[in-house]
Structure 1
Amino acid sequence: MVFNPNDPKYKSCCCGCHVTICARVLMVLSIVGFALQTLKALGTPGGVPLLSLIIPVIGLVVGSIGVFNEKRTPLLIYIILQIAGTVLSIIAVPIVLSSPEFDTREVRDMKVPVGIIIVAFIAVISFFVIKAFWNLYEYLKDRDEGDQLPVHYEHN
C-alpha cells in the first residue's frame, strides 16, 4: 500500500485542515485550558491539591509527545485517557446535581434539564475531539505501515 499524506481522508471533518494540524491545535487548546483551570483553582480558597494535578499533567505530556512527535503509542494512551475522562465526567454530572450541597432554590427545578444539557454537551464535544485524535492515530498508522511515495524534485 502506497502512503499518500495528502490523501483527502486525512483532512479534518470540521474545517478541512490536515489531521496533524487539527490535533496540534486541539492539544494546544487542551494545555491552555488546563493551565487556566489550574490557575483559577489555585486562586480559590482552599486551592487545589497538587496531587490531583499529576494525572492530568501526565496525560497532557503523553498526549503532547504523541501529537507533536507523531508517536502512535503515546497518542493511543492519550485517547484512552480522554475516553475514560469523558465517561467519568458524564457519570459525575448526575452525581453532583443530585448531591444535597448542590441543592439550591435557583436550580432545584432545573436539575434534570440542566443535567441532560451538560451531559449532551460533554458527550458531543468529547466525541469530536477524540475523533480528531483518532484520525491522527490512523494517519500515523497508515504512514508507518505504508510505502512512501517517491519524492520528485523539480529544478527551475
Structure 2
Amino acid sequence: MEDQIFNPEEPKYKCCCGCCHVTTGTKIISIISLIGVLLAIVPFVGLHPTPQLIGLGIALFFIAIFTFITPFIAIKHNNPNWLIPFLVLTAISLIYVIVRNGLGILDFISNPEVPQTWPLESEHETRRALVIAVFAIKAIFGIALHLWYYFIVFRCYQYLSLKRKAEILPMNP
C-alpha cells in the first residue's frame, strides 16, 4: 500500500471555483447562514409578538448562534466533530427546502385559479405554465445552493479529519 501525504493546498480542498480554501468557504457560509436565519427570525417575532413566539424566537436565536459558531471552533481547534451540528442543520434545511418547494408547486398545480397579482397578459394556461416554471426554477436554485453549501462544509470536514490524522501519525524518514 502506498503512503499518502497530506497536502493542505490540494485542489480538492478549494471551493468557489478555486478562489478560496474550504475552511474559508465554510466560514463564509457560516456567516451568511447566521445572517439569513437572523433576518428570518427577527421580523417573524416582530410581526407576531406573543410570548410563545418570542420564546421560540429566542430559542432559535441561541440554536443558530451555537450552530453557526461551531465551524469556527472546528477550524481553530482542528476538530472536525464540531462541524457535525452545522452539517445536520444544513441537511435538515435541504430537506425542508425540497419539501416546501415541492408542496408549493403541487398546491399551485391543484389550485385552478392563477393569482391575479401576476402581471402577465396572456392566456390562462400560458400564465399557469409560466408561474409553475418560475416556482420550479426557484426550487432548483434553492436546492442547488443548499447542496453546494453542504458539500463545501462536508469537504471541510474531510479536510480537518485528514489534517488531524496527519498530525497524529508519525513522520517517515
> In which range does the TM-score fall when normalised by the shorter chain?
0.7 to 0.9
What is the CA–CA distance in structure 2 between the aligned matches of 1:105 and 1:73, rounded to whole Å? 50
In structure 2, list runs of 5 or more residues that go unmatched. Answer: 119-126
The structure-2 alpha-carbon separation of the partners of 1:94 and 1:2, relative to structure 1 and needing over 3 Å to count, comes to: closer
Give the Cα–Cα distance (whole angstroms) in 1 for the partners of residues 135 and 58 of structure 2.
Answer: 26
Identify the structure with bigger relative contact order (alpha carbons < 8 Å, sequence gap 6+). 1
The AA in structure 2 aligned to 1:7 is: E
Q: Which residues of 2 match residues 106-117 of structure 1 at below 5 A?
A: 106-107=117-118, 109=128, 110-117=130-137
- In 2, are the aligned partners of 1:94 and 1:115 still within 8 Å (CA)? no
> SS of 1:130's equivalent?
helix
Q: Distance in 1 between matches of 2:65 and 2:150?
A: 14
SS across alignment from 1:2: coil
Identity %: 21
Match of 2:73 in 1: 69
Unaligned runs of 5+ in 1: 150-156
Instruction: Give per-residue Cα distances to partners, 1:4-34, cap 9 Å, x unaligned.
Output: 3223322224342111111101111111122
TM-score with structure 1 length normalisation?
0.75
Deviation at 1:47, TM superposition (A): 4.8
CA RMSD across the alignment: 3.1
The equivalent of 2:116 in structure 1 is 105
Q: Counterpart amino acid of 2:116? A: R
> Residue in 2 aligned with 1:153?
none
Shift of 1:57: 4.3
Distance 1:38 1:103, change over 3 A: farther
Report how many aligned residue pairs link the two structures. Answer: 147
2:94 and 2:146 in contact (8 A); partners too: yes
Bigger Cα displacement from structure 2, 30-39 vs 48-57: 48-57
So what's the TM-score if we normalise by structure 2? 0.69
1:54 counterpart (37, 59, 83): 59
Aligned-pair distance for 1:130?
A: 0.8
Do the aligned partners of 1:3 and 1:148 also contact (CA within 8 Å) in 2? Answer: no
SS in 2 for 1:76: helix
Seen in structure 2, the aligned counterparts of structure 1 residues 89 and 135 have a Cα distance that, compared at 3 Å, is: same
C-alpha separation in 1, matches of 2:86 and 2:151: 12
